[in-house]
Amino acid sequence: MSPDAPDRDDARDNPRAWMRDAVCAEIAGDLWFPERGEGGIDAAVAICRTCPVMEQCREAGQGERFGIWGGITANARTRTGKKTAA
Ligand code: SF4
């Protein structure tokens, strides 16, 4: 079995298994939800760009009304409907 096999199995059994590798999971606060008033858009996006699961997160965030997902703000998702950088 290759070292990648457990990840593929995880993805099939749990579509959000990628969240285990989310950089933001290690950081307290609401940086990724600027609509809650903490307003850390630039900082959050910069961190997202270092995240190993940014693409999975961006896909998962499509259609989400709130929060920064994969470096994309809610406003940018609404405005463009595309996967563009915030
Ligand atoms: S891309 Fe950003 S919001 Fe998504 S899991 Fe990584 S750090 Fe969190």
Predicted pLDDT of residue 34: 87
Q: In terms of residue numbers, what domain contains 32?
A: 5-80
Q: Is 9 within a domain?
A: yes
Q: What are phi and psi of 69, to 5 degrees?
A: -125, 125
- Ligand 1 site-directed mutation target among 62, 68, 83, most atoms within 8 Å of CB: 68
> What's the pTM?
0.79
Q: Is 65 within a domain?
A: yes
Q: Is 45 within a domain?
A: yes
Find the mean pLDDT for residues 5-11: 60
Domains of the chain: total: 1
Contact predicate 29/38, CB 8 Å: yes
- Ligand 1 site-directed mutation target among 48, 59, 62, most atoms within 8 Å of CB: 48
Q: Is 10 within a domain?
A: yes
Chain segment 38-83, per-residue pLDDT in tens:
668 999 999 999 999 999 999 999 989 999 999 999 999 988 765 4
Q: Is 85 within a domain?
A: no
